[in-house]
Amino acid sequence: MINFSSLKKSFGFAFEGLRFAWKKDQNLRVHTIVAIVVIVASIILKVSTVEKSILGVMIILVISAEMVNSAIEQMVDLITKEHRMEAKLAKDVASGMVFVTAVGSVIVGMLIFFPYLVKLFK
């Protein structure tokens, strides 16, 4: 049997996390703006459904990576405020994860949009 009270609380916590990330993480807001531009461009250029799905997955990956990065930064700051090499490395690796995901998404986006842009400007 589904415990709707517990489910409601879980969704509340999730939305609280989204609100926190949106308020505190400038990079998340930038990624969201880029995502909106990509979605609008995919509609204008009439990108195929499969390609839109791929773009959607890439957008979700980047935004999720940014949120994991924020969570790691918060945890590291909770554990220590000292400038320790281990804390720096944890934050840097998490930041690197976002970078790799974002660069991969740009490459996928270029591969998807390039033929449509060539066709548009031909």
Query: What residues are annotated to the active site?
Result: 66
- How many angstroms separate the CA atoms of 101 and 98, rounded? 5
2: part of which helix (H) or strand (E)?
A: none
User: In terms of Cα–Cα distance, which of 71, 101, 75, 97 is closest to 86?
Assistant: 75
Number of helices and strands in the chain (H, E)? 4, 0
